[in-house]
Amino acid sequence: MIHKNLTATQLIEKSLRHHETHLSADGALVAISGKFTGRAAKDKYVVRSDSTENLVDWGKVNQPISEKQFQQLKGKVLAVLDSDESFYLDLSVGADPRYAMPLSVRTEHAYQALFAWTMFRDPLPSYSDHALLQPFSIYAAPSAHADADEDGTNSETFIAINFDSREIVIGGTKYCGEIKKSVFTVMNYYLPQMGIMTMHASANTDDSASSAVFFGLSGTGKTTLSADASRHLIGDDEHGWSDNGVFNFEGGCYAKAIKLSPKAEPEIWDACHTFGTLLENVVMDENSRTIDFDSDRITENTRAAYKISCIPNHHPAGTGGQPNAIVMLACDAFGVLPPVAKLTPEQAMFYFLSGYTAKVAGTEAGVTEPQSTFSACFGAPFMALHPTRYAELLAERIKKYNVDCYLVNTGWWQGPYGVGERMPIAVSRSIVNAAVSGALAQVEFETDPVFGFQIPKSLAGVDSSILKMRNTWKDKAAYDAQELKLAGMFLENFEKYADKVSEAVRAAGPNVQSKVA
C-alpha cells in the first residue's frame, strides 16, 4: 500500500505506530539510524552513459555503474517498497521558481518521508519547461540490500543516481542525510550547466535584501553563524546563485546537534525542542524523555531536521539579492590561520578549491594530532562536475558583483588543539557581522608574508592582539614551524588543480619561500 502525500502529523503517527521513532519530552521525534550514522561515501554511484561521460567528474566520489546495474538495484528497492506500506510525497527543490525542479520521494519508513517533507519544499503550481529541470524521483528502502558480486557494488549499501532516467535509488542505509545530499548532487549537476553557481553554503540577508554567503565544512560554524537574530536566514546548507541573487534549494535545516547550546545557538536550540522536529542519533533518557545533546554515545554526528520556519527570523521566500560578502569558514586545529583574512578573487578561488578544515585529536580512532581535511568547493562528495567548474562560476560572480571575500578561522588560537583554546563564538560573530555589514572592508590591512592574504590591523569589538595569530602563541618558533607545515599542506593538496587553473590562481596560495628566506 502506498500512502500518498500524508501530512506531517500523519507521518509522525505512522512512524510511532511502526516503532520507527520515539517521542521526546518536547514532542520532537528521535530516530536511530543503526549501522550508518553518516554518509556511506564509498557506496555512491552514478550511471555512466553517453550523456554523462564527458560531464561527470568520475572517480572515488562519482563511481560509475552501468544502466543494467542501476536497474538491478532499483528492482531490489521497488521489491521492498511494493511488499508492504510505503510513503510517497510530491515535493519541490529550489526557492526561485525559475530554477525549481519537481521532486517525488517514495520511502520504506514514515520517518524518512517526514525527513523529506521537512527538508524539501512544497510543490509549485507550475515549473519551468527547461529540459534540465524536469521531474526527478527518489526511491529509498533501507531493507533493500545489494549483492556485491551480482550488482558490482562495494557493499550491500548503495546510493545510485541515474541522470538519464532522472531517478535515485537508496538501499542498505537508514541515514536520512543520503536523501538530502543525493538531491544536492543532482542540483550540482544540472544548474551549473545553466550557468547557475551551486553552493554547499548557508546564506542570510538584511532588510535591504543584500545577502551574505557562508561556505564551510561540517563543524566550522556554517549553520551557527548564519542563524543570526539580526538578519533573515535564507538557508543553512544548499543554495544557488543566479543573476537574480541567492536562493535556497531546501525548505528545512539539517543541523549538527552535538553539544548544542541554548546560549550560543538559541534559535537552533528552540527548533530542537519543537513538535515535529526529527532528531537523528541523539541520546534520550528513556524515563524523562529529555535529550542529552552533549552525549556522543551513538555518534558525534547527531543531527536535527526542522522546517526553516522554526527559525524566527527566516526569510519566507528563501531568496536574497546579490551577496555583498562571502565568508569561507575553516576550523583550523593547527592554530595558524588568523581569525579573519581578506581574499582577492584569485585567492578566493584557491581557498574555495582547497576547502580546508582540520579534524582534532580524539574525534576518530588513530587521530592523535590535528589532521588537515581538504574537500574541494567545501563539499567534494556532492559535486558531480569537476571542482574547477564551480570555482570558475564563483570567480565570475565575485568579479561581476564586486563581492568582498573573507577567510574566517573558527578553530584554535593561542596554540594548536591540545595547547590553545577554541576561538570564542562571540569573536567569530563580531568578525562575521563586520564582514556582512561592510565595515570590515573599510579597515586598514597588512599582508601576511606566508599566506599572502590581507589581515586587518584592527577591528571594532575584537582585541587587536589576536588578529595576528602568531601574537597569541607563547612559543613563536613553534608557531613558525606550524605555519610552514600548514602552508605546505595547502600547496601539496592544490597540485591536482595546478594544470587546470590560471597562473594567477596558482600564485594565490602560500609562499613558503618567503618565510624560509
pLDDT in tens, 211-257: 999 999 887 888 888 878 789 999 999 999 999 999 999 999 998 89
Neighbouring residues of 242: CB distance < 8 A, sequence distance ≥ 6: 96, 98, 99, 195, 196, 197
The single-letter DSSP state of residue 104 is E
Q: Is the predicted pLDDT of residue 365 greater than 50, yes or no? A: no
Q: Which is nearest to 313 in space by CA: 254, 267, 376? A: 267
Q: What is the pLDDT of residue 211?
A: 96
Q: How confident is the model at residue 371 (pLDDT cuts 50, 70, 90)?
A: confident
Reported as a single tens digit per residue, the pLDDT across 268-295 is 999 999 999 999 999 999 999 999 999 9
Q: Express each pLDDT in 406-456 by its tens digit.
A: 999 999 999 999 899 999 988 999 999 999 999 999 999 999 999 999 999
Give the dihedral sign, CA 380/386/388/391: negative
CA distances from 336 to 229, 352, 393 (A): 30, 18, 29
* Assigned C-alpha cell, 419: 595547547
Range with the lowest mean pLDDT among 42-51, 228-237, 313-322? 228-237
Tell the residue number behind the cell numbers 541523539, with chain if given: 282
Mean pLDDT of 64-75: 98
| The pLDDT of residue 364 | 43
The string of pLDDT tens digits covering residues 375-390 is: 999 999 999 999 999 9
Among 45-54, 59-68, 461-470, whose mean pLDDT is lowest? Answer: 461-470
Nearest-angstrom CA–CA distance, 53 and 64: 9
Taking the C-alpha atoms of residue 147 and residue 183, their distance in angstroms, rounded to an integer, is 24
Catalytic residue list = 39, 181, 200, 218, 222-223, 237, 303
Q: What is the mean pLDDT of residues 9-20?
A: 97
Element (H, E) at 292: strand 291-292
Nearest by Cα to 391 from 405, 380, 403, 377: 377
> Which whole number is the average pLDDT over 363-382?
76
Instruction: Report d(CA 391, CA 416) in Å as an integer.
Output: 30
Q: What is the DSSP string of 393-446?
A: HHHHHHHHHT-EEEEEE-SEESSSTTTSEEPPHHHHHHHHHHHHHTSGGGS-EE
Confidence of residue 263 (pLDDT cuts 50, 70, 90): confident
The predicted pLDDT at position 515 comes to 57
* Mean pLDDT value of segment 44-71: 97
| CATH number at 2-36+43-310 | 3.40.449.10
Residue 517 pLDDT: 46
Output the pLDDT for position 363: 41
Domain 322-516 has CATH 3.90.228.20: yes
* Average pLDDT of the segment spanning 71-75: 98
Q: What pLDDT digit, counting tens, does each position of 477-514 carry?
A: 999 999 999 999 999 999 999 999 999 999 999 998 75
205 pLDDT tier (thresholds 50, 70, 90): very high
Rounded Cα distance between 42 and 46, Å, is: 12
Q: What is the Cα–Cα distance from 377 to 387, expressed in whole angstroms?
A: 7
- Tell me whether domains 2-36+43-310 and 322-516 share a fold: no
**CB atoms < 10 A from the CB of 64, how many?**
16
Give the model's pLDDT for residue 514: 58
Query: Looking at the predicted structure, is the pLDDT value of residue 469 above 60?
Result: yes
How much of the chain exceeds pLDDT 90, in percent?
Answer: 89
Domain boundaries, the chain: 2-36+43-310, 322-516
pLDDT above 50: residue 68: yes
